[in-house]
Structure 1
């Protein structure tokens, strides 16, 4: 297997883009080669089977999420409740790059219902989501239980899923209101 880490990342990032744009059905070696702008056959040199490509793409989404957790951990200082609310609202309205990663992540979650071998990676991805939410909540001086954080993460994932797939919340105040209600229900 080739060992150029930059090329490998280039291929996997192209695969994430394909998941976002075309879903799992569009994820082929040929499509990835084209999207990544690499010579035909390059993707299959790195990932011999479609399953290997799919698993590596899922692992890359996990890595990207953990990178985000690490960045949050180093960037977040103490937060007031208002600061916590503002940060959570921003997270519910992701920028374009994070929106694309999130769509690919949801595509992988759906595929894991059909491919058991993806479930451990998706469990790790959920753990990263819970960890990032926990870091944020703890920065506000709160100490929620792991069970509460898992519930909160699942609810926020559902909110983001609906916003990305059906229709976004009409106004930012609605997201702010949701965050207020969630903080009251889960943390007070």
Structure 2
């Protein structure tokens, strides 16, 4: 397998675009080559098979969705973090659509389902730990509920934005934070 990290990243970015546009049935090594504008057979030099490609797409999506360090420094506020998350998802729409395709493909491929569960489980745990260690309001259950609510909002925002058109999305996010992560009356977060 080839080891050129820049070429591998470019092939994975091309794979994300193919997956988002064509779905999992359209994702072939040949389609990745074509999208990346490289000679036929290049992707097969980097990925032994489609299953390996799917696993590496999963990791690449997270590399592309990491928040800017500036967002995570200084005083934190949950609503600001959520606005940044939605902005990143809108900016990297193909990445999130590709993740949805990976989830669907995981329903048909048990090995991918296991990898998704491990990967996303670790990511969720890291997000919960970050939230709680940062002293933001709410408890573990509230943070998980907020994750689930935001996942639904993001899916609708990216796939059927007309559904949310009558509702100001920022207002919905503010209401989620207020209702799911309430502060104690004295201003201290709930345990």
Give your verdict on TM over 0.5. Answer: yes
User: Which one of the candidate residues 83, 87, 92 is aligned to 1:98?
Assistant: 92
Deviations along 1:26-75, whole A, 9 cap, x unmatched? Answer: 1101110011111110111111222222222123223434xx15x34764
- Say whether residues 1:76 and 2:73 are aligned partners: yes
- Contact 1:58/1:118 (CA < 8 Å) preserved in 2? no
Q: 1:160 offset after TM fit, Å?
A: 0.8
- Find the aligned partners of 1:39 and 1:120 in 2 and give their Cα distance: 33
- Find the aligned partners of 2:80 and 2:132 in 1 and give their Cα distance: 12
Relative contact order (C-alpha < 8 Å, sep 6+): which is higher? Answer: 1
* Structure 1 unmatched runs, 5+: none
- Contact 1:23/1:107 (CA < 8 Å) preserved in 2? yes
- Find the aligned partners of 1:177 and 1:55 in 2 and give their Cα distance: 36
Q: How many residues align?
A: 180
Q: 1:153 offset after TM fit, Å?
A: 0.7
Which protein has the larger Cα radius of gyration, Structure 1 or Structure 2? 2
- Say whether residues 1:21 and 2:41 are aligned partners: no
Query: Could you say which residue in structure 1 is the equivalent of 2:40?
Result: 40
Q: Which has the higher helix share?
A: 1
Q: 1:117 offset after TM fit, Å?
A: 1.4
Query: Could you say which residue in structure 2 is the equivalent of 1:176?
Result: 170
* Structure 2 unmatched runs, 5+: 183-191
- Contact 2:11/2:36 (CA < 8 Å) preserved in 1? yes
- Say whether residues 1:53 and 2:47 are aligned partners: no
SS at match of 1:119: helix
Stretches of 4+ aligned residues off by more than 3 angstroms: 62-65, 71-76, 93-97, 129-139
Query: Could you say which residue in structure 1 is the equivalent of 2:8?
Result: 8
- Find the aligned partners of 1:120 and 1:145 in 2 and give their Cα distance: 27
- Contact 2:131/2:143 (CA < 8 Å) preserved in 1? no
